[in-house]
Amino acid sequence: MGSFVSSSSLNVEGSGGFLDENHSNSIKVFFLEMVVFPSLEKLRVDNLELVNALWPADTVAESFSHLSILEVRNCNNLVKLIPSSLLPRLQNLEELYVTQCQLLENIIEQLEENSVEKVMFPKVDTVRLIKA
């Protein structure tokens, strides 16, 4: 079981935060697998220059299920935003903002070709992507 953090809003700016480096492939992940945010509704991440990914491939099941607003800005080494393992937990996501993340290749991690899983965000009404 992970360490629970009880908050409805989290703003992170230019911090190492819970940074974990996976030494086998030099991926720098912001959230550790053991950190759980069961009631987080708004997440804003800004100026994390060392981070390649926000979430590890596997996150705790209770985490991020209430997230409705995700805002990521100026994370220039971020390559992928949402791992496929997190998709089922983001059913409450309503707003997604990604601004000036220069190396970002995928908003959602690409599913395997023969996967029958569908990516669905039933509540999303706002998506803003700016790469400038």
The string of pLDDT tens digits covering residues 80-92 is 899 888 888 899 9
Average pLDDT over residues 13-32: 57
N- to C-terminal Cα separation, the chain: 40
Predicted TM-score (pTM) of the model is 0.79
Report the alpha-carbon angle 41-20-69, nearest 5: 15
CA atoms within 13 A on the CB side of 43: 27
Task: Tell me the percentage of the chain whose pLDDT exceeds 70.
Answer: 73
User: Residue 110 carries which DSSP code?
Assistant: P
pLDDT digits (tens, 9 = 90+) for 50-109: 888 888 877 767 788 999 999 999 999 999 899 888 888 899 999 999 999 999 988 988
Residue 114, pLDDT > 70, answer no
pLDDT band at 18 (very low <50, low <70, confident <90, very high): very low
